[in-house]
Amino acid sequence: MAILCYPSTGRNVYKVRFFFADAKKLSSNVQNSKNSFLYCQEIVRKHDYENFIATLLLPPGPRQSTIAVRAFNVSVAQVQDQVSQGLIGQMRMKFWSDTLEAIYQDAPPAQLVALQLHEAVRQHKLSKRWFQRLISSRENHLSSKSFQSLSNLEDYAEHSASSILYLTLESLNVRTIESDHAASHIGRAQGIVTFLRAIPYNSRRQQVYVPIDLLVQHKVSQNDILKGIDDKRMKDLIFDVASSANAHIEKAKTIMPKMSSEARLALIPLLSVVSYLEQLRKVDFNVFDSRLSQRNPLLPWKMWWNKFRGKI
């Protein structure tokens, strides 16, 4: 108030006005940051629940960053489910590609996921190339939805699921060859399991993404999958896919003892992958068994217990 007692020059009045304008802007920025985080958190909780639970075990800063990364992933992944026309899908992918460029130029659009991701990039110096791989893998899958081989499926998993784990590690300031190597294998396993879990959902939508080489090898037709068959041919096919995921898990386990506790914490989504594969084995590799679609109520406890013990 004392500042306003000297109106002759007017300078102090302007200073007060600027002070309150800056304070109002700061308050608005804080509120926007809070809103964007809550929005991203809800997206991940609703559409990526198991990874959401794993993310809650991270320290506060890396947790917010990883929530932003996973919200971005959900937003990009949903393009395929929400769009039936290829051109519209490409336009939406272009939006996210342009958004990513704007984020790295410190000019994010007024979109809640973009705002939160910009904060994550700024705080943790996240590598742009992992986001680019994430977008390109989804975009390529729009135009060519079928996998020619199991190897193609693994490559897709590496570019999508593994990229998210690389970014999670960076959020924890972990940048080592061993950690990236383990993340690559775990991401591949997680991507393969996501593919398996989606088979019933996709078949109800009259879509089949099972690698063509496996269809030929096991003499299973796309029509068989659309009908939801669970005979020996189909179970053998699913066993082969699950075995590939398990092989990556075993390779990752040989690397993880060499890693720091922070790095292992970033890879705790591995537990949900192992849980699904165990359930799949119990139902004799019948991927259409309804029990596989039920959440494992013990999984959050297992994740917390493994964090407490410092093991995965």
For residues 94 and 57, give the distance between their C-alpha atoms in angstroms, rounded to a whole number. 33
| pLDDT at residue number 32 | 61
DSSP assigned state of 292:
G
226-258 in b/e burial notation, b at 16+ Cβ within 10 A? eeebbeebbbebbbebbebbbebbebbeebbee
Q: 10 Å Cβ neighbour count for 47? A: 17
Radius of gyration, alpha carbons of the chain: 23
Residues in the chain, pLDDT under 50:
1-28, 30
Phi-psi label, residue 285: left if phi above 0, alpha if psi -120 to 50, beta otherwise:
left
DSSP 3: G
- The Cα-based distances of 239 to 170, 183, 256 in angstroms read 34, 23, 25
Q: What b/e string do you get for 13-44 counting C-beta neighbours within 10 Å, with b at 16 or more? A: eeeeeeeeeeeeeeeeeeeeeeebbebbbebb
First vs last Cα of the chain: how many Å apart? 59
pLDDT tens profile 10-45:
444 444 444 334 434 434 454 566 799 999 999 999
Integer Cα distance of 298 and 312 in angstroms: 15
The sign of the CA dihedral 61, 269, 57, 29 is positive
Locate 45 and state its tokens. 């909780």
Q: Reduced to 3 states, what is the DSSP secondary structure of residue 306?
A: helix
Residue 181 is which amino acid?
H
Measured distance CA(192)–CA(195) in Å, rounded: 5
Tokens at residue 140, please? 């390529």
**Per-residue pLDDT, 80:** 79
**Is 68 in contact with 120 (CB distance < 8 Å)?**
yes
The pTM (predicted TM-score) of the whole model is 0.87
Using an 8 Å Cβ cutoff, are 113 and 72 in contact? yes
pLDDT tens digit sequence for 246-280: 999 999 999 999 999 999 999 999 999 999 999 99
> Does residue 121 sit in helix, strand or coil?
helix
Q: What is the DSSP letter of 291?
A: G
- pLDDT attached to residue 33: 66
Tens digits of per-residue pLDDT, 193-207? 999 999 999 999 899
